[in-house]
Every structure is written in structure tokens, then in C-alpha cells.
Amino acid sequence: MEYRRPRRRRETRSGQPARCRRYDSPRCPWCPLRAYNFNSNVISVVQLGQVDYGEGLRLQRTLVERRKLGQVGDVLLLLEHSPVITLGRNAKAANVLASTEVLAARGVEVFECDRGGDVTFHGPGQLVGYPIFDLRGFSRQPSAVSYQEGPSNVAAESFPSWRKTLGAVDYVRRLEEVLIRTCGDFGIRTTRVAGLTGVWTEPDSVGPGSFGSAQDKLRPGRGGSETRRHTSPEAKIAAIGVHISRSVTSHGFAFNVNPDLSYFDLIVPCGITAKAVTSMEKELGRELDLNEVAQAVSRNFGSVFGSETLWVETIDALLGNTVGLPMKVPADLRRLHGEDEFSVG
């Protein structure tokens, strides 16, 4: 076998690492010294409360750039927005039905953004998730595409087809899977609809929830299951719109937990006129604790993406190189469990 000298890391005359010619960075995936730790399998979860949409965009851009440079690992932001209508790359202005005056009277902002999809609404009571993931970190995991129309209770590890990297379609299918499983945790049966992105209620039925002992602790006296009929046939309970740049994702999903659904009358949601919009509150007939839903979403991200999920209390802690350390779950959720502290993972 021919002997080859190992490649040396490029350095400047001063002995400092040379900056990457492609991305103007001292560390990048194209250099001999890899910036990414693909073996960590950790998703850091930050729950932010209510954030203005413009601030949310700026935060995403900061984290995306840091993820590309390998300065942070995979991050899941969970938050609510103040009332806002967003227009994706494929949006039609005609799908905003309300006038500027009506929007101003209701305190609704309007933003254009670079995610996929059409027009949607974000507001209080809706859990918004922004995964900032490097999809190359999931390149050794199986593909979810084969189960696009199949059962949603299949473990991520059992998806049969493999590919060299997690593609955009695979990624969106996994986001849907996370939300389908979360709805199931609360006794709401949901599904995919062929040709459409997002998560939809199954007509005419809400089955028994898959509540284990941990879930029962969150619902004392409920017996761990419930059965209700849907209030409407095949309605959208979660919307998904993503952006991917150099394998790093941004934007994500909007999960209707307890929002004021009258705001959706201001638009044609996702440009789809034939299907209604619903929420967990509407389907179950009761208001839900958003922190409880956020915990379920975090847990299902871990199982679907084959990663450990660790809570980080603040963005400052995240950017302060504390990623990967077990952190406290938000105080409201700890009080809900009657515990001083515990780790989620």
C-alpha cells in the first residue's frame, strides 16, 4: 500500500490557523480540522416564552451562523410569538384577507421570510419550534421517507431505507412525526395528508392517549386516557415551513395548542381553502399547559432524531459554551411535577 503523508493543518506565518478560503472561518467542515462533533447526539432545548417575530428571526440567524462554524451544537428553540402573519417564499399576497387597518387594530404584524410555504399565523397559545440542526449530523440514521404514508408509531431506528445524509424531505417527515407522537401523547389521533405538509387530525375520532406513568403524574385523576370525537373533519393542527442553508436548518413548526383561532380568519392558512384549522384545546375541549406540551415535544424530538435532549435555561447559557450539560427544566414545569429539579433526556 502506498504511504501518504498525513495532511497538515494550514497555518499562517504567525503560527495561527489559516482562515478557510471558502467560508472565511478558521474552522469549517472543508478544512482538515473538523469543526463539528457528529458523535455528541445532543439537542439543546431552550424555552424562551413570548418573543417578537423580528427578534426570533435575528436569534435564528445568529444560531445558524454559529452552527455552521461549529460554535454551538444542535439547538431546538421553543417559544411563542406575539400576533404576526408571516409570508413564506411561495406566499401569495392575496392570501392575506384582512386590510392593513384591520391588522393594525388587532395588533398583528406582517413579515416576509425565507422559509418554505405560504401564509401562516403565529400568536400566543401556539408553540413554535425552531430547530437549528446540522443535517449532516444525522447522516448515519435511517430514512423516514418510506413511512411517509405509514404508521406513525414506528421507532426512528426501524425506518428501513438508508441514505448518506438526511435530506429535506426526510427532515420534514421527521418534524411531522414528532408532532404526531406529541398529539398521541395527549389522546389526539393525527396523520399526514398526501401532497400536503403538516399534521392533520383524523376525522371522527380521538383515541386513547398513550399516557404512561410519567404522563399520568401530569394528569392526576384523569386515568391516563380519554376519548372524544373531533369537532371537525381533517383539520390542520400544526404547520411546517423550513429553510436549509449548507445543511443547517432554520424556521420549523407552529403547533396549535391554545391559540385564538379567530386570527386564522384573517388569512387563507397555508393557501389551503378546503381544510380547517384546529387546536389541541379545540379537540380536547380544555386548555392545556404549554410547558407540558413543550416537554412532550422535546422528548419526542429525542426519540425521532435519535438524540439526547438537554434543557438550557437561557440563550446566554447556550452561547456561553455550556451546551451539553444537564440543565434545569423551566421552573413552572418543575413546580408542575412537584420536584425541585430534574433532567430531561
From residue 211, alpha-carbon distances to 215, 217, 229, 238 in Å are 5, 10, 18, 21
212-221 b/e with 16+ CB inside 10 Å = b?
A: eeebeebeee
Task: Give the other-Cβ count within 10 Å of 136's Cβ.
Answer: 16
Indicate the residue type of 88: G
DSSP 89-150: TT--GGGB-S-HHHHHHTT-EEEE-SSSSSEEEE-TTEEEEEEE-BGGGGTTSBPSGGGSSS
- DSSP letter at 162 equals B
From residue 17, alpha-carbon distances to 6, 34, 38 in Å are 17, 13, 22
Q: Is 310 helix (H, G, I), strand (E, B) or coil?
A: strand
Residue from 28, 31, 183, 270 carrying the catalytic annotation: 270
Q: Is 40 exposed, middle or buried (0-12, 13-18, 19+ CB in 10 A)?
A: middle
In whole angstroms, give the CA distance from residue 250 to residue 244: 6
Q: Where are the beta strands (DSSP E) in the chain?
A: 42-51, 74-81, 84-87, 109-112, 119-122, 126-132, 190-191, 199-201, 236-245, 248-256, 308-311
Active site residue 270: yes
Q: Is 245 helix (H, G, I), strand (E, B) or coil?
A: strand
In whole angstroms, give the CA distance from residue 330 to residue 298: 13
Active site residues: 270
